[in-house]
Amino acid sequence: MIIVTGAAGFIGSCLVGRLNADGFNDVVVVDNFSVEKKLANLKGKRLREYVDRNEFFAWLDEHHEQVEFVFHLGARTDTAEQDKAIFDLLNLNYSKQMWQACVRYQLPLVYASSAATYGSGTLGYSDDEVLLPLLRPLNPYGDSKNDFDNWAVQQAEKPFFWAGLKFFNVYGPNEYHKGRMASVIFHTFQQVQRTGSMELFRSHRPDFADGEQKRDFIYVRDLVDVCIFLMHHRRNSGIYNLGTGEARTFLDLALTTFAALGKTADIRFKDTPEDIRDTYQYFTQADMSKLRGIGYARPFTRLEDGITEYVRDFLLPGSYL
């Protein structure tokens, strides 16, 4: 059996779909299944069992001998949330329990970290673990991910294989439920279909023109490919960046979305909301040399190709991966 936490969410459900496509049908999905709008992400997938996240560790105590691999992707991911207690509960302490269970039962573990750990990027975007204690995230979400990364590397007892993946800006199918936290591609599509135009955040820094803020956008299919690679690789434990290694502007993203829809671009700008303005990342770009160095050789999807597939094959028909 393969465990996927956060399985009803965006990335988790895409990973479950890929596991099914590769012939893995004994997938145990773990989540808070009371959030009904996420359940469509799992419809039609071949699953062994649904386990509520609050009951998972008791379930694992009983079934651990049948488990082959654990993907821990479940987390609270709202970068605007300011309640540290929520992140301590769901991101930090739950992840510690997961780690300790994987140590106890010697289960390999891949877990989701985040590029939010890099904060304003003053130290760059290297996934060298020596830098972890020096990173200063800009919000409680980033703090929770960095706190766990630091805790994990300091543990004397570790799973025989483990990897923490610092996800950069992920986009792609199955994010219909994410609301404000969905990708800019999703919001562009929705706005263009509704109004014919798109509003991007205005720059509030003199060194960036409006729309020229840059992020490392990674297609969810590429992210899942790396997860599958690590499941088979099971060597070289550690923290790894997971982006493309190429920063692109939000203007690039919006223009490509208009092109995929066959529409003339109409892009306008609005102030960045005040609750995230001071913690907004203006540039991210993953250093991917560490993952490449352990043998991951597949190219990452070009932004133009990923957006075009996402829009035409998923957003327009309203389908799921």
Within a domain: residue 270? no
Within a domain: residue 68? yes
Q: Is 171 noted as a catalytic residue in this protein?
A: no
Give pLDDT, residue 223.
Answer: 98
Q: Is 178 noted as a catalytic residue in this protein?
A: yes
3-state SS class at 270 = strand
Give pLDDT, residue 279.
Answer: 81
pTM of the predicted protein model:
0.95
Q: Which CATH number does the domain housing residue 143 bear? A: 3.40.50.720
Which one of 141, 171, 219, 310 is the catalytic residue?
Answer: 141
Domain count, the chain: 1
Within a domain: residue 316? no
- Tell me the mean pLDDT in the region 142-154: 96
Within a domain: residue 54? yes
Within a domain: residue 42? yes
Give pLDDT, residue 79.
Answer: 67
158 labelled ligand-binding: no
Within a domain: residue 254? no
Q: Is the pLDDT of residue 22 over 70?
A: yes
Which one of 45, 96, 158, 178 is the catalytic residue?
Answer: 178
234 labelled ligand-binding: no
Q: Is the pLDDT of residue 80 over 80?
A: no
Within a domain: residue 47? yes
Give pLDDT, residue 101.
Answer: 98
What's the chain's Rg over C-alpha atoms? 19
Q: Is the pLDDT of residue 120 over 80?
A: yes
Tokens of 183: 């990708």
Q: Could you report the per-residue pLDDT of 261-282, keeping only the tens digit for each?
A: 999 999 999 999 888 888 888 9
Within a domain: residue 274? no
Q: Which domain holds residue 236?
A: 2-172+218-245+285-301
Give pLDDT, residue 55.
Answer: 98
